[in-house]
Amino acid sequence: MFSYQKASRNGFTLIELLVVIAIIAILAAILFPVFAQVREKARQTTCVSNEKQMGLAIAQYVQDYDEHYPQANSAAGDQWYDNVNPYVKNGEKYAGLSFGKGGIWDCPSFPHINGQGQNYGASLGLFVDNWARPAIQPTWSLSAVDAPADKIMVAEKGFNNAGGSWSTFTTVESEWLINWNNLNASGNFDESKDGSDFSATKGDRDQSTSEAPWGWEGGWTVRYRHQKACNVLFCDGHVKSMHAGSIKWYKNVYIPNVYEAGMDQEGFGWSNKVH
């Protein structure tokens, strides 16, 4: 007798292959954004670590200089990065000076166009700008900050489509708030109108100097690169990730007397008072 034996199947049918490919495509579509978020979260963590180290370095500098903050730019041209660099000994130098590039000065999410440094900027006014000024303004002491746990000292900022950028982030009221009618009946700032609506809009993405209306302002506005969040270092030394719109100009950026003096020094006569 002859026995019948069913032939074995050694491959997949076309339908089965298409089903497998479809499943892989669906999984990829689901997982790739998750992987991107995880990667950006890791970059954000690195950026937070950078700012924590900056905070420690600035604190050591302040203790060595009679509790005074460094200059953003000195008359000799060095910036605050160079002033605190001896306390971190990290990053790159050019002609013996550090301009905020390399090591802890590099945010992994910064675009690094034209090899630009200065990923992080100090508070405009609090770190005084004495570069090419007719009169040298003295540095501010710790006591000048009214609420150290609320006021931002260093923040991530934008870039310029050039080799250099700003050493500070802007504190100018008009760069943060669209509505300037913020005084109450008593003539004081109405905190119910506080926010960062204009800053959040401008910080939505990086701008180059060729894109109006940013120009050189693109390099000194804060940036929300980490999944719409910006890492900021406060004057008391703690670091926090703040989402676009959550930074409040009056509460977190404006420092009484320091702000007005900074606006006068920068030549912003139209914005040297709270509106």
**Least confident stretch, 158-167, 202-211, 221-230, 232-241:** 202-211
What local confidence, expressed as pLDDT, does residue 96 receive? 79
Has residue 213 got a pLDDT over 60? no
Whole-number Cα distances in Å, 191 to 149, 212, 222: 18, 31, 21
What local confidence, expressed as pLDDT, does residue 91 receive? 87
The contacts of residue 61 (CB under 8 Å, 6+ apart) are 70, 83, 84, 87
What local confidence, expressed as pLDDT, does residue 234 receive? 98
Helix (H) or strand (E) holding 233: strand 229-234
Q: Provide the 3-class DSSP secondary structure of residue 196.
A: coil
Average of pLDDT values for 255-266?
90
The two three-digit tokens of residue 195, written as one number: 């926010």
What local confidence, expressed as pLDDT, does residue 219 receive? 80
Question: Cα–Cα distance between 200 and 20 in angstroms, integer?
Answer: 44
**pLDDT confidence bin for 116, thresholds 50/70/90:** confident
Average of pLDDT values for 179-190?
82
What local confidence, expressed as pLDDT, does residue 18 receive? 84
Across all residues in the chain, what is the average pLDDT? 85
Could you tell me how far CA 54 lies from the centroid of its own chain?
13
Question: Higher model confidence: residue 198 or residue 154?
Answer: 154
